[in-house]
Amino acid sequence: MKTYLVLFLLSVSSAVVAGDKGGMGSGGGDAVVCYDNNTIKSSTLLDLYEGQNIFSDNVITDQSDKTYNDYLELALKRLENTAYGLYGVSKNKLQVISLREAVKHIETKKRLISKSVVLSPINDSFEVFVPKNCVVAQAAAFVDEETILFDSNIWESMSELDKAGLILHEALYWYERDYTSKFDSRRPRRIVSLALSDKWEFENVLEGLPSTYTLCSASWENEPTVFAVYEKENVAYLSFFLIAGNHVISKKTAMLDTEYSAFLNRKENDFSNNTFMFYTNSKYEDQDQLQVFSFPTYGKDHVVTGSSLSMKNSHKTSYPAKDIASQEFRCQKNTKLSK
């Protein structure tokens, strides 16, 4: 089932990603670097430092018998059950590659700079605090798809776990800039931390999706929203893959307060009711990335808000409709999954 959807959605992603954004720089990962007499004492990836000290993500302990490839594989297997496993990232504005391929590309293009120089700060981390006698330093800089620079001194002082997180960070932040044009590394940092923690409790985004459904997509300011619509007890349910450019991490569903048949027979871009029920967990909502998307109804524009980062076993939250500029959703009926 998953293979078919991956191929289908990879082809969709090449259309929804804005043509002028693909692979654009410059973003890059940061490290918390602590010194002793001007000598690096320790370097911890900012993503993992925040996960452990701010979000209590129970970041896994670095083990002497594990390589950074072992940690990368763990994270990739987890993320392949999210929308990152369904959508690729644009490369050279012509090709769409998977998350795993993006990681391999970064490893291939990684270039360690001279130990006599440091990378200039990109100032996209917006960190809250750092330990005394330590600084947040630029560990990597994604200048463009062929130029991905790494600070040699920081890289060599990192643990295998931190190295894996930094490579993964570069790949996820590549997605973030590609789909949303955001130069803000906070969301990919949180995902890296969770992907390398004991707190990974996310539910596969394909869980419960029927073999036949209606696939809808729209793009607002070049940030795509994609969701499947299917019938459950004669009610229309929505299952999201992208929310305003953000890849859904855990299965996110919404209930349309209308019959499925009414949805299928609606007028173009017309929903007969604007009441939606999102299944999220407020503790894990990505507060910095709450997004909006709208469903025009009888001449009015309505919106529901939701985040792309949520956990399973979550409670039900209702979001009221509000006026906002409209999006035009285009739907393809009878999309099928091969099992």
What are the residue boundaries of the structural domains of the chain, listed by start? 2-195, 212-336
The three-state secondary structure class of 112 is strand
Residue numbers of the chain with a pLDDT score lower than 50:
1-11, 13-24, 268-307, 309-327, 338-339
Per DSSP, the three-state class of 155 is helix
Q: Cβ neighbours of residue 277 under 8 Å, at least 6 residues apart?
A: 254, 255, 257, 316, 317, 318
Q: What is the pLDDT of residue 156?
A: 97
pLDDT at 298: 31
Q: Which residues contact residue 217 at a Cβ distance below 8 angstroms, ignoring those fewer than 6 apart?
A: 12, 16, 224, 225, 226, 227, 329, 330, 331
pTM here?
Answer: 0.79
200 CA to centre of own chain: 15
pLDDT at 276: 37
Using CA atoms, how far residue 60 sits from 90, 216, 311, in Å, is 31, 38, 19
Q: How far apart are CA 190 and CA 73, in angstroms?
A: 18
Handedness of CA 96, 102, 104, 108 (dihedral sign): positive
Q: By C-alpha distance, which of 188, 163, 164 is closest to 174?
A: 188
**What gap in Å lies between CA 334 and CA 126, rounded to an integer?**
44
Q: Identify the helix (H) or strand (E) that includes residue 191.
A: helix 186-195
Say how far apart CA 22 and CA 224 lie, in whole Å.
14
- Do residues 183 and 124 make contact, with C-beta atoms less than 8 angstroms apart? yes
The confidence score (pLDDT) of residue 322 equals 34
Residue 318: how many CB atoms within 10 A of its CB?
11
Which run of H or E residues covers position 89? Answer: strand 89-91
Alpha-carbon dihedral angle through residues 253, 257, 263, 268, given to the nearest 10 degrees = -100
Please check whether residue 228 is in contact with residue 335, taking contact to mean a CB–CB distance below 8 angstroms. yes
In angstroms, rounded to a whole number, what is the distance separating the alpha carbons of residues 307 and 291? 6
Q: CA 48, 240, 294 angle in degrees (round to 5)?
A: 110
3-class DSSP state of 190: helix
Question: What's the pLDDT score for residue 266?
Answer: 57
Question: Residue 226 forms beta bridges with which residues?
Answer: 217, 242
Q: Quick one: DSSP state of residue 27?
A: B
**Kindly report the CA angle at 215 between 212 and 218, in degrees rounded to 5?**
175
SS3 of 7-75: HHHHHHHHHHCCCCCCCCCCECCEEEEEEECCEEEEEEEHHHHHHHHCCCCCECCCCCCCCHHHHHHHH
Residue with tokens 């305003």: 244
- Per-residue pLDDT, 98: 93
**Residue 220: per-residue pLDDT:** 66
Distance CA 335, CA 98 (A): 22
Crossing angle for the helix pair 46-53 and 160-180, to the nearest 10 degrees: 100
Report DSSP state, residue 272: S
